[in-house]
Chains A and B, each alone.
Chain A
Amino acid sequence: MRRWLRYPLLTLALLGLWLLLNESVSPGAFLLGGMLALGGAGAFAALTPPRPRVRRLAAVLRLLRDVLVEVVRSNNAVARIILQPGRAQGRRSGFVLIPLDMKNPYGLAALTCILTATPGTVWVDYDAARSTFLLHVLDLIDEEAWVRIVKDKWERRLMEIFE
């Protein structure tokens, strides 16, 4: 039984997902959703992933807010680049190799989601041995600046949450 309850957050998230999908909080939906959630979490535990530790829920909420702001801002920026080809003459896109201190797989997955969800940056390749990743930036002005943005704005805060 302990195997099934080793990931309480995942179990709760799966139950919430089921209730949202059904748009119902009836006892039947709870029962079936609870069973499915326990089964899903059990199957996940069978993969023996590293144990996730999510700390500082307030930091998670602050991070989500900043991600939303950044998504809106970068959508605007990329839309401008596409719609104003004249101004794009001086624009340069390119790759940036960014060294990471974070090794936690959940933190890395979250960083990938954040960087992909903000248009203008795409996570291309990750080198686990050297702990670096390759980022492609649509509007690359200064490579050093991008390293700083990724490390200070996202990596440091993800490390606070996951490590």
Chain B
Amino acid sequence: MTHAADLPLWAAVLVSLLLLVGSGLALIGSIGLLRLRSFYDRIHAPTLGTTLGIGCVLLASMAFFSVLQTRFVLHEILIAVFMVITTPVTLMLLARAALYRDRSEGSTEVPTLPVDAAQNERPGV
């Protein structure tokens, strides 16, 4: 069993700072999700939480358990690796779905399909 009260002061300050920064970034990301205007703008906001935000929380977790158990606790690195690898998949799915919808609705906000341009360039196709 671990007890937060056993943590030395310097480690407690470090862990709290990291947690504050991490959760602050996640909060800012959520505010951005609410406040930015277009869908493509909003998709950027949550990445604050999934990059540096989660990084700070993971660092805090590593520091906390490493100091308490006086050995290196490193498996948080795995969470970071999986976040970095999986976030692009969901982001691309969302962005491409939005792009497909906007293109099929003929929105002027998004660039036209490059394939159309290629076909226009070649006469007779």
Contact = CB atoms under 8 A, between A and B. Distances in A.
B68 interface: no
B44 interface: yes
Contacts, number: 101
Ranked nearest first, the 6 interchain pairs of A and B with the lowest CB-CB distance are A82-B32, A116-B88, A75-B52, A119-B47, A124-B95, A138-B44
B51 interface: yes
A112 interface: yes
Interface stretch (B1-9, B10-18, B72-80): B72-80
Given A23-B73, A122-B91, A113 B84 contact: yes
Given A71-B51, A117-B84, A78 B114 contact: no
A119 B44 contact: yes
Given A82-B31, A83-B28, A21 B92 contact: no
Contacts of A113: 84-85, 88
Contacts of A104: none
B43 interface: yes
Interface residues of B, number: 38
Interface of B: 25, 28-29, 31-32, 35-36, 38, 40-41, 43-45, 47-48, 51-53, 55, 73-75, 77-78, 84-85, 87-88, 91-92, 95-96, 99, 110-111, 114-115, 118
Nearest to A118: B51
A79 B111 contact: no
A54 B71 CA distance: 32
Interface of A: 17, 20-21, 23, 71-72, 75, 78-79, 81-83, 85, 93, 95, 97, 112-113, 115-125, 127, 130, 132, 134, 136, 138
A93 B41 contact: yes
A123 B88 contact: yes
B74 A93 contact: no
A117 B87 contact: yes
Nearest to B78: A20
